[in-house]
A and B are shown apart, each in its own frame.
Chain A
Amino acid sequence: MALLEVDDLRTHFFTREGVVHAVDGVSFSVETGKTLGIVGESGSGKSVTALSIMGLIPRPPARIVSGSVVFDGRDLTKLSEKSLEDIRGSQIAMIFQDPMTSLNPTLTIGTQITETIRRHHGLSRDQARNRAAELLEEVHIPNARQRLDDYPHRYSGGMRQRVMIAIAISCNPRLLIADEPTTALDVTVQAGILDLLDELRTEHQMAMILITHDMGVVAEAADDVAVMYAGQIVEHASSEDIFNRPEHPYTEALLGALPHLESENVRNERLTAIPGRPPDLVNPPSACRFAARCVYANLGDSCTTVPPELREIRPGHLVRSAHPASERAGHREEVGAR
């Protein structure tokens, strides 16, 4: 059994404008030592999925209306807030996008790290301080011991994210959820953070969920990838399969829309844009949610009437579409051209 098994998770927001189906039937599992990348554009439900796992969705307006989140054999959606608190931080930890606002500007870095350690381990002040220094060293902050007494404004963005990671790993969590951990950072700083996460995952034998909008970041860091669109997973496979043999028209379109760093003659070519924009999640389309933007939806069939199921098109490769690439005529040329 996998460390984390999410099954048919539905998180809806009950607002004045109606019920927003932010996460609508999401299932996946994460194994110890592996990284699952969840990729999608804004509003696709990737962050709400993460917050639902952590039990951190704002209630009201949001509520998990059905589904289960089984972590190490226990369904987190059924636990009391008290028991959840014990799991958060010690078993499952999370880091967020914005290292500028996740730290309290009025407390020293040392205080903020020891707070978490003492909450979960009941160490003395001195022991906690030593542990904090060790943690800063582990995330490669130079002069760790001296820097415990600095306030967050003395740290750069990348260094603050390292502090957040130090806090996250302080209790040896078994699952780390990283929600856009490098989005606010420059690429060169991002590279350092991704290297660090990879190193820690191996050393601590953690499972990781990496949430990002950046296809490059997933390609670098994830073993498996789930592509989300309009509150649902539309494709799920190994990283190599997703990038080399994408099946869902949305995944293909997303990859096609990316400008390429390493290819010739890009200057005079137009990018393959995806027309339109994602559907309104108050009244999501009753059939395929991507149909309105899909170039294959006119192949005369069920796209606009029957919601496609997430099905296994080959071992380990799931897709939610009536027209996956390998079932379309002449698909090989298309893939070859990329």
Chain B
Amino acid sequence: MSSTPLLVCEGLKKHFPVRKGLLVERTRDWVRAVDDVSFEVHEGETLGLVGESGSGKSTTGYCVIRLLDLTAGKIWFNGREISGLRGEQLRQLRREMQIVFQDPYASLNPRMTVGDIVAEPLVVHDIGTRRSRQATVRQLLDVVGFDPSYVNRYPHEFSGGQRQRIGIARALALNPRLIICDEPVSALDVSIQAQILNLLKDLQRDFALSYLFIAHDLAVVRTMSDRIAVMNRGKIVEMGLAHDVYENPQDEYTKALLAAVPVPDPVRMRERKVERRRLRHALAEPI
């Protein structure tokens, strides 16, 4: 881990307007989806961003890769401020920062072949010739464990796990330094989930990638992350080394969240149930 972080986020805010009124629309209120969030991601590191639905974790990811404009706050990538980038500069940024989406059924264009999907970033950035791109695509597919002989097939012909491999190959195409993984395995069955998590771990080692790993599954986040930030209602309530956050949580919400996770061990589960009832007060269940 080098001393200057690859990614620095400071005071990120993303507020969405809640509009009311039929004919004259007016903004009545704001949803503070991300509300003053700061963190760093170092070279080769995985920062896990964990939280429940509506906690703002995915919105944070979208803000970092600039799919959403910030309401306030600053982002530096590799020492350069990127929070205000537009147009061509923003496009150039995407060579270094990519994203893998949650739903491999919705994030691949059904009318494009597997080969075209993976080649698209190369075409957009005008990298290589048609022929050299073909070779690159085959290499990328091979790296992610997808049989390159299927380049001319369409996404619907493949299972969720295979599709997620296609999405990962596409994210790798430009040789990025940071990949934002937004719930990359939550649509997959356990046995397939393990394959994809292993792949992400292997790629990180082989290509010195940094990950911002966003997920709701606390066990998945732990197995992937060096450090973990816990989000609740738009704020990071606790951040630290994975071990510290999980073994010795300080924040009441983190404690209650961890205690709520069922573990595959009936004996241990009986103890955990007691703990979870004790901590229930920290959770305001929405009505």
Which residue numbers of A lie inside 8 Å of B, CB to CB? 41-42, 142, 155-156, 158-159, 186-192, 194-195, 213-220, 239-240, 243-244, 253-255, 257-262, 264, 266-267, 269-275, 277
Contact = CB atoms under 8 A, between A and B. Distances in A.
25 contacts: A41-B189, A41-B190, A156-B287, A159-B287, A187-B257, A188-B283, A192-B280, A214-B262, A219-B263, A219-B264, A220-B266, A220-B269, A254-B190, A254-B191, A255-B264, A258-B219, A259-B219, A260-B219, A260-B223, A260-B263, A262-B268, A264-B243, A271-B223, A273-B192, A274-B191
Contacts of B159: 277
A270 B265 contact: no
The 8 closest A-B pairs by CB, nearest first: A216-B262, A259-B223, A274-B191, A273-B194, A257-B194, A215-B264, A186-B52, A271-B194
B192 A186 contact: no
Interface of B: 52-53, 159, 161, 189-195, 197-198, 201-202, 216-220, 222-226, 242-243, 246, 256-258, 260-269, 273, 276-277, 280, 283, 285-287
B264 A271 contact: no
Contacts of B217: 259
Contacts of B193: 257
Contacts of B267: 240, 244
A191 B276 contact: yes
B179 to A, nearest CB: 17
A260 B264 CA distance: 9
Given A261-B258, A270-B202, A272-B194, 19 more contacts: A142-B287, A156-B286, A158-B285, A158-B286, A187-B260, A188-B52, A189-B285, A190-B262, A194-B262, A220-B273, A258-B219, A258-B264, A259-B223, A261-B219, A261-B222, A270-B198, A270-B201, A271-B194, A277-B159
Main secondary structure of the interface of B (DSSP, over half): helix
A213 B189 contact: yes
Given A253-B191, A261-B258, A240 B226 contact: no
Contacts, number: 136
B191 A273 contact: yes
A37 to B, nearest CB: 10
B277 to A, nearest CB: 8
Contacts of A277: 159, 161, 191-192
Contacts of B261: 187, 216, 261
A267 B191 contact: no
Contacts of B201: 270
B266 A188 contact: no
A266 B48 CA distance: 14
Contact of B220 (A42, A219, A243, A259): A259
B242 A267 contact: yes
Contacts of B260: 187-188, 190-191
Contact of B285 (A156, A269, A271, A274): A156
Contacts of A186: 52-53, 216
B269 A219 contact: yes
A274 B195 CA distance: 7
A254 B280 CA distance: 30
A313 B266 CA distance: 21
From B190, B226, B265, B276, name the one whose CB has the most chain A CB atoms within 10 angstroms: B190
Nearest to A266: B223
Contact of B190 (A194, A213, A218, A243): A213
A141 to B, nearest CB: 8
A41 to B, nearest CB: 4
A255 B194 CA distance: 11
A219 B195 contact: no
B103 to A, nearest CB: 15
A158 B286 CA distance: 8
